[in-house]
Chains A and B, each alone.
Chain A
Amino acid sequence: MSKIFAQGLVCPLDKNNVDTDQIIPKQFLTSVSREGFGQAMFFDWRYLADGRPNPDFVINKPEYSGASILLTRANFGCGSSREHAPWAIQQSGFNVIIAESFADIFFNNSVNNAMLLIQLSKTNIELLFNRCAQGPQHWQIDLQSQEIMFGNNAAMGFNIDADIKQRLLSGLDFIGSSEQLKPQIADYEQSRKASQPWLG
């Protein structure tokens, strides 16, 4: 069975260790809303000091306008735990990020926003960047069969945690599924109080 999770234009961001301070700088964190972060994504790289778009930054290049798949390198999303980072990326139109590795907290935050994060070997990431170097790429991501499809029957497989795959495919409610264990939570609290009364 095929299940196309996403398809679209790929934007290659050729950098390692992209931290969440770059993805969304501090001045945008004072908001109390989950919305409105799209324009702030990569703010310091994307806009010049006078506010004009930086023409050299890859996301501003006309050929990547409307991209929905972000291709990058190792340790993407390191640093601060701010969930504003995946919010900003998602609100800019991306719902898939492909990288050699991700920082743990960023990874969880993205999954909790129903984004698909694909981790590939360094060699495969290199192959994908080479494809992008040949011209703008449109790929399809089949989550069921775990494949990135390049067109003309070419594809690359990827691994994904079974639980995350299930959550993304079924759109399970993050809190709701844990709430099914409410009786166990109550039991745990009881025994915790008995064995470690100092914990409250």
Chain B
Amino acid sequence: MAAISSARTLYQKIYTSHVVGKLNPSTDLLYVDRHLIHEVTSPQAFSGLKLARRSVRRPDLTFATMDHNVSTQRRSMDAAGETSRKQLEALAENCAENHIPLLDLTHPDQGIVHVIGPEQGLTQPGMIIVCGDSHTSTHGAFGALAFGIGTSEVEHVLATQTLPQQQAKTLKIEINGELSAHVTPKDVIMAVIGKLGTAGGNGYVAEFCGSAIRAMSMEGRMTLCNMSIEMGAKAGLIAPDDTTFSYIKGKAHAPKAEHWDSAVQYWQSLHSDIEAVFDQTVTLDASTITPQITWGTNPEQVMAVDQSVPAPDSFNDASKRDAAERALAYMGLAPGQKLTDCKVDVVFIGSCTNSRIEDLRAAATVVQGKQVAAGVRALVVPGSGMVKRQAEAEGLASIFKAAGFEWREPGCSMCLGMNDDRVAAGQRCASTSNRNFEGRQGRGARTHLVSPAMAAAAAIAGKFVNIAATGNVPGDQA
């Protein structure tokens, strides 16, 4: 009889190390190391807690920020309207009452929850991190098991610092080889979603590995894990390495000097064992990935920017054919059309996917010395106060402003248009965000997801551009 292999995947290692106890044969109670909260999905959780006379078990492991519905024009609680103000005030009150640290609008480091977690050193390898937001998968870039939860679960975590879970299946996404110039982690994840589909990751935790992943910066890895949810994966994961450790070192909440070495020693054990068996494996050759753009109304409706919009008839599956037909009608596109012939009205550079310093550098490199095309409204919304200050110090903000971009305050902004940053009906937007759903950026808005460099190039040209054909290599002026 063959010995049962003790080899485990990274996911299984993190999962088992967090089991507090069993609730029933199939469900474990897992401990949560970090609970990030924001104004939109927490107020009902706090009300529920109060109603049941429960208290917050670990306010010291809970961190709050204001991001989803804040104005990006000025730092004032009432700048995005009356109902938004009430929600922001509720968060401030709930945090004060329960002694939860809050980065509010007056805090210089306030920003999008998935940008500030890592920046503050709150995100560390081996942790379980949850937040009432689906893009919590971002933190998986650090080798943390991080996933989005609903408000009832937020209440559960506030009360117990734990969450009932069942083991997910494991999916290995191995990407080897070198990315071509102009191809970014955003293009990689969009290509992966195109291959697997929006439901391809349902029930799985996806681990990204391979030489192309190792070569990525933390910012790039965050972009990759951020969009794991767009293929339905419960979480995205990347084993931590020296790139991870040097990113964390010295951050406000990073392990202090006396614990640093033991922390790193533990983190180094956080990788899938060589013999670990995954439920599914997908491999991609990095060199074959080209700049991507979505043409439809879900992230799997994606193509290389130099391709033509597909004809619904080209899909064998009837439901995909219907979806394509509906999408083309909504997007105002015809089969065979080139998006590089397509005029853009709005350009949005921001969101938890692409609002970090590296994203802004890539966009600024394309923009430098040029002007936003007439008739195009272009916004840059940095992900946090730290990103904003750094971009200003590096001169990126001046490049954007000189070119005619609006340079905004940090927040989720036009990714979901909960504040007043919206795309009007029928307008076409080149967006560095993560969802091209109908109405996501505003009722009737037509969203095309692209990388920061592609968005910047679209702003200058007034239409979509194949960045790989422009000869303007992002980063070559650095």
Given the interface pairs A26-B418, A33-B44, the reply to whether A104 lies near B27 with Cβ below 8 Å is: no
Q: Which stretch of A53-61, A138-146, A147-155, A179-187 is in the interface?
A: A179-187
Given the interface pairs A105-B150, A175-B54, A177-B23, the reply to whether A198 lies near B255 with Cβ below 8 Å is: yes
Q: Which stretch of A4-12, A13-21, A62-70, A88-96 is in the interface?
A: A13-21
- Interface residue? A108 (CB, 8 A): yes
Nearest-neighbour CB distance to chain B for A180, whole angstroms, equals: 8
- Interface residue? A112 (CB, 8 A): yes
Given the interface pairs A16-B323, A32-B43, the reply to whether A184 lies near B61 with Cβ below 8 Å is: no
Q: Mark A73-107, 1 if CB is under 8 A from B, else 0.
A: 11100111111001000000000000001011100
Report chain A residues within 8 Å CB of B52. Answer: 175
Q: Of residues 140 to 159 in B, which have CB atoms within 8 Å of A's CB atoms? A: 147-153, 155-156, 159
Query: Which A residue sits closest to B160, measured CB to CB?
Result: A178
- Asked whether, in the complex, the Cβ of A21 is within 8 Å of the Cβ of B437, the reply is yes
Q: Of residues 14 to 40 in A, which have CB atoms within 8 Å of B's CB atoms? A: 16-17, 19, 21-22, 25-27, 29-34
Q: Could you say which of A105, A161, A163, A177 contacts B134, with CB atoms under 8 Å apart? A: A105
Nearest-neighbour CB distance to chain B for A173, whole angstroms, equals: 9
Most buried by B among A86, A109, A175, A192: A175
Report chain A residues within 8 Å CB of B259. Answer: 197-198
- Interface residue? B26 (CB, 8 A): yes
- Asked whether, in the complex, the Cβ of A188 is within 8 Å of the Cβ of B149, the reply is no
- Bound Cα distance from A184 to B33, whole angstroms: 16
- Interface residue? A1 (CB, 8 A): no
Q: Mark A95-137, 1 if CB is under 8 A from B, else 0.
A: 0000001011100110011000000000000000000000000
Q: Could you say which of A26, A103, A188 contacts B232, with CB atoms under 8 Å apart? A: A103
Report chain B residues within 8 Å CB of A161. Answer: 26, 166
Report chain A residues within 8 Å CB of B84. Answer: 30
- Asked whether, in the complex, the Cβ of A81 is within 8 Å of the Cβ of B41, the reply is yes
- Asked whether, in the complex, the Cβ of B60 is within 8 Å of the Cβ of A163, the reply is no
Query: Which B residue sits closest to A16, measured CB to CB?
Result: B319
Report chain B residues within 8 Å CB of A192. Answer: 31
Report chain A residues within 8 Å CB of B33. Answer: 199
- Interface residue? A159 (CB, 8 A): no
Q: Could you say which of B23, B61, B134, B160 contacts A80, with CB atoms under 8 Å apart? A: B134
Most buried by A among B23, B234, B437: B437
Nearest-neighbour CB distance to chain A for B278, whole angstroms, equals: 18
- Interface residue? B83 (CB, 8 A): yes
- Bound Cα distance from A16 to B33, whole angstroms: 36
Report chain A residues within 8 Å CB of B269. Answer: none
Nearest-neighbour CB distance to chain A for B66, whole angstroms, equals: 13
Q: Could you say which of B127, B134, B202 contacts A79, with CB atoms under 8 Å apart? A: B134
Q: Mark B36-60, 1 if CB is under 8 A from A, else 0.
A: 0000110110011000101001001
Q: Could you say which of B21, B26, B262, B319 contacts A181, with CB atoms under 8 Å apart? A: B21
- Interface residue? A196 (CB, 8 A): yes
- Asked whether, in the complex, the Cβ of B234 is within 8 Å of the Cβ of A104, the reply is yes
- Bound Cα distance from A177 to B23, whole angstroms: 8
Report chain A residues within 8 Å CB of B6. Answer: none
Question: A21-B416, A112-B152, A163-B27 are known contacts; what are 5 more A-B pairs with Cβ within 8 Å?
Answer: A81-B133, A82-B41, A103-B199, A104-B232, A189-B31
List residues of chain B with CB under 8 Å of any chain A CB.
20-21, 23-27, 29, 31, 33, 40-41, 43-44, 47-48, 52, 54, 57, 60-61, 68-69, 81, 83-84, 86-87, 90, 124, 127, 132-134, 147-153, 155-156, 159-162, 164, 166, 198-199, 202-203, 232, 234, 255-256, 259-260, 262-263, 266, 298, 319, 322-323, 416-418, 425, 435, 437-440, 443-444
A-B contact pairs, 25 of them (CB 8 A): A16-B323, A17-B199, A21-B439, A26-B417, A29-B40, A32-B43, A32-B87, A78-B198, A80-B133, A80-B416, A83-B150, A104-B234, A108-B153, A109-B152, A161-B166, A162-B25, A178-B23, A179-B160, A181-B20, A185-B162, A192-B31, A197-B259, A198-B259, A198-B263, A199-B124
